[in-house]
Amino acid sequence: MPRIAGETSIENNDKIIAIGASTGGTEAIHKILRSLPSDFPGIVVVQHIPPFFSRLFAERLNNTTKLKVKEAQTGEYVEKGQVFIAPGDRHMRIRKVGGRYKVEVFQGEKVNGHCPSVDVLFESVAKEAGSNAIGIILTGMGHDGAKGLLSMRENGARTIGQDEKSCVVYGMPRVAFNIGAVEKQAPLEQIPQILFSMLY
């Protein structure tokens, strides 16, 4: 029997999930997070979204999922059951401190035309978490996140890309797939189950 989200406890305290999305991503992220249990490994998210709306997005997710979701602030630790959303005008990266991951939020130039940039987050996850990470690239225009996801995969992380049929815009996942960054490509509705299979 396949494991279903919410049926079992996750033991991996040192795991971290990184998600990047753009056009159509708010709904895609919501669909994934609402399928996950409250003790799921910590998640960090870059969604291309304007300032203020990132906070509203985090509040909406907090109110409609089993997870604790908030807009990220520097110095916070990524804990089980916690989701951090990058502010709409700041880059977000993680640093490993001891056996834990700490979030850093900072101003910077646009990367691939975006701040926050998925690549900035993914590159930090590749460096700091290595094989303890899972990267997910979702619907969106352009190529932000593709190179960072490749770095994650090259550093031992598992990687997932949303498939063309379930994307609003098959841009970012297409580029990631074409450069070999995506280990498993799948429809949006299958991604939570794939996440579970990769954690065991």
> Which positions are catalytic?
22, 48, 144
Give the phi and the psi of residue 71 in degrees, each rounded to 5.
Answer: -70, 135
| H-assigned helices in 10-167 | 25-33, 53-64, 118-129, 146-154
* CA–CA gap between residue 6 and residue 49 (Å, rounded): 29
* CA–CA gap between residue 12 and residue 103 (Å, rounded): 19
Closest CA to 20 of 95, 97, 117, 94: 117
> Cβ-count burial of 59 within 10 angstroms (0-12 exposed, 13-18 middle, 19+ buried)?
middle
Question: What percent helix, strand, coil does the chain show, rounded to 5?
Answer: 30, 25, 40
